[in-house]
């Protein structure tokens, strides 16, 4: 007996969202599904045109637990790699509400500076927007969905580069160290 965990990313408008399997949760300057619009085509830049951007577009990630299993307890996200890249910060929020992601910074997000960081998701049998209850023991052979983890990368001012005249040089932030989101659970036979 084995449970299966599938990771999804949701993008697009709130009225017609797109959920697709995710192998990476890449942060970029626009809300675009990762399978077609890779992060290196939409880098976070300082400045972005006339806008003094300090962060990525927000990302929404959730998981589906399915398969054949007797009992599962203690479902939790373990997030590692936070604080590894100098000048970058990760902001997170657990939510069951999907809002079309924007480049605007969401002030309700919480700075995640502890690694590893554990988040215990709410669960639902019908989807992430219905995941409003903490379920401690999952019923056997039942499909569950976590609520969303909304996240944004923040770039500190210390990463700015200026020319000899004191003008900010447009720059790409580049790749960060790996920040790993792992859904863990205790499975019993």
CB 68 within 8 A of CB 165: no
- Is pLDDT larger for residue 75 or for residue 57? 75
- 158 phi/psi in degrees, rounded to 5: -65, -10
104 CB-near residues (< 8 Å, 6+ apart):
none
Least confident of 19-23, 26-30, 40-44, 83-87: 83-87
Q: What is the pLDDT of residue 90?
A: 86
CB 75 within 8 A of CB 93: no
Q: What is the pLDDT of residue 102?
A: 79
Per CATH, is 2-188 categorized as 3.50.30?
Answer: no
Mean pLDDT, rounded, for 147-164: 78
């Amino acid at each position: 007996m084995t449970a299966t965990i599938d990771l999804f990313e949701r993008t697009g408008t709130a009225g017609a969202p797109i959920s697709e399997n995710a192998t990476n949760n890449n942060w970029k300057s626009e809300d675009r599904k990762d399978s077609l619009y890779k992060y290196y085509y939409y880098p976070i830049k300082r400045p972005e045109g006339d806008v003094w951007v300090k962060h990525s577009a927000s990302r929404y990630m959730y998981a589906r637990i399915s398969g054949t299993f007797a009992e599962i307890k203690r479902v939790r996200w373990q997030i590692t790699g936070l604080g590894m890249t100098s000048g970058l910060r990760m902001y997170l929020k657990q939510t069951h509400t999907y809002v079309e992601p924007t480049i605007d910074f969401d002030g309700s997000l919480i700075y995640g500076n502890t690694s590893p960081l554990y988040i215990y998701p709410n669960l639902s049998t019908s989807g992430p927007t219905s995941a409003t209850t903490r379920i401690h023991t999952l019923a056997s052979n039942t499909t569950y969905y976590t609520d969303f983890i909304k996240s944004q990368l923040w770039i500190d001012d210390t990463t700015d580069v200026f020319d000899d005249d004191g003008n900010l040089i447009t720059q790409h932030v580049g790749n960060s160290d790996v920040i790993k989101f792992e859904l863990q659970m205790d499975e019993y036979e």
